[in-house]
């Protein structure tokens, strides 16, 4: 298993210009290295998380039909799904990178942008918007030192995102910090919400 994981991190050495052309044409496919392998500099995320992900995937009852499950686990481990993680999942699940990217870009749950340790999500659905969700967003941005939506605080602790609807319209405006839900949030409550996680 370790050999397969390490094989992900290397590229075969092409023997000719034709091999280079084939490699460029197959850039959306993952490759398995048959030669001496090394972990390249492009693998910037912790190797132990890749090992955990590979172990999780190997324990799936079957790979077919479990791509979303593997991606959920990958996002749980890494916090987001950058290209290098998508490439690894594609290799482990034996599917194309294009297929993985298609799933990641289709489902709004998946993110390719790093999140803070405590991701703050503000609902901007109609019910929340009409009762002041935009003012709640502005208050979070101000309290977190000018961080914009889709950005992370310099200490990596918080990130701000807006959601379409969380399905809790009776609690509008709704804010989620991680899995914790806050209802009927006003701009004045934002400082206290942040303090719960500081």
Which tens digits make up the pLDDT trace of 90-136?
999 999 999 999 999 998 778 898 888 899 999 999 999 999 999 99
Q: Please name which of 64, 160, 57 lies closest in space to residue 118, comparing C-alpha atoms.
A: 160
What percent of the chain stands above pLDDT 90?
A: 59
Q: Is the pLDDT of residue 147 over 80?
A: yes
Q: Please name which of 51, 57, 54, 7 lies closest in space to residue 33, comparing C-alpha atoms.
A: 7
- Mean of the per-residue pLDDT values of the chain: 82
- Provide, for the chain, the percentages of residues in helix, strand and coil under a 3-state DSSP scheme, each rounded to the nearest 5: 45, 10, 45
Q: Is the pLDDT of residue 86 over 60?
A: yes
Give how far the C-alpha of residue 184 lies from the chain's centroid of Cα atoms, to the nearest Å.
28
Q: Rounded to the nearest 5°, which phi and psi values hold at 152?
A: -115, 140
Q: Is the pLDDT of residue 19 over 80?
A: no
CB 40 within 8 A of CB 10: yes
Choose between 39 and 129: higher pLDDT.
129
- In Å, what is the CA distance from 151 to each residue of 7, 24, 28, 74, 120? 33, 33, 28, 21, 11
> In this predicted structure, what is the pLDDT of residue 186?
98
Residue spans of the domains in the chain: they are 2-106, 118-195
Choose between 196 and 115: higher pLDDT.
196
Q: What pLDDT band is residue 8 in, cutting at 50, 70 and 90?
A: low
Which tens digits make up the pLDDT trace of 157-179?
999 999 888 889 999 999 999 88
> In this predicted structure, what is the pLDDT of residue 56?
95
- pTM: predicted TM-score of the whole model, two decimal places: 0.59
> In this predicted structure, what is the pLDDT of residue 94?
94
Task: Give the integer Cα–Cα distance in Å for 97 and 12.
Answer: 18
> In this predicted structure, what is the pLDDT of residue 42?
64
Phi-psi region of 61 (alpha: psi -120 to 50; beta: other; left: phi over 0): alpha
> In this predicted structure, what is the pLDDT of residue 114?
87
Q: Is the pLDDT of residue 190 over 80?
A: yes
> In this predicted structure, what is the pLDDT of residue 98?
97
67-78 and 83-93 helices cross at what angle (nearest 10)?
A: 140
CATH of 118-195 among 3.40.190.10, 3.40.30.10, 3.90.320.10, 1.20.1250.20: 3.40.30.10
Does the CA dihedral 123-137-107-48 come out positive or negative? negative
Choose between 98 and 11: higher pLDDT.
98
> Which whole number is the average pLDDT over 11-31?
41
Task: Give the integer Cα–Cα distance in Å for 113 and 117.
Answer: 13
């Amino acid at each position: 298993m370790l050999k397969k994981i390490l094989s992900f991190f290397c590229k075969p050495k092409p023997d000719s210009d034709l091999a280079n052309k084939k490699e460029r044409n197959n850039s959306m496919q993952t490759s398995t290295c048959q030669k001496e392998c090394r972990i390249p500099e492009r693998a910037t995320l912790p190797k132990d998380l890749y090992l955990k992900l590979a172990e999780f995937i190997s324990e799936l009852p079957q790979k077919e039909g479990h791509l979303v499950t593997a991606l959920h686990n990958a996002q749980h481990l890494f916090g987001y799904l950058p290209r290098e993680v998508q490439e690894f999942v594609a290799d482990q699940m034996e599917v194309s990178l294009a297929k993985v990217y298609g799933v990641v870009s289709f489902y709004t749950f998946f993110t390719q942008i790093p999140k803070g340790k405590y991701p703050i999500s503000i609902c901007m659905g109609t019910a929340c918007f009409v009762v002041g969700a935009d003012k709640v967003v502005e208050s979070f941005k101000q309290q977190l030192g000018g961080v914009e939506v889709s950005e992370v605080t310099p200490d990596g602790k918080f990130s701000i995102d807006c959601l379409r609807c969380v399905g809790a319209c009776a609690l509008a405006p709704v804010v989620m910090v991680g899995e914790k839900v806050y209802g009927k949030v006003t701009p004045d409550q934002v400082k206290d919400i942040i303090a719960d996680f500081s």
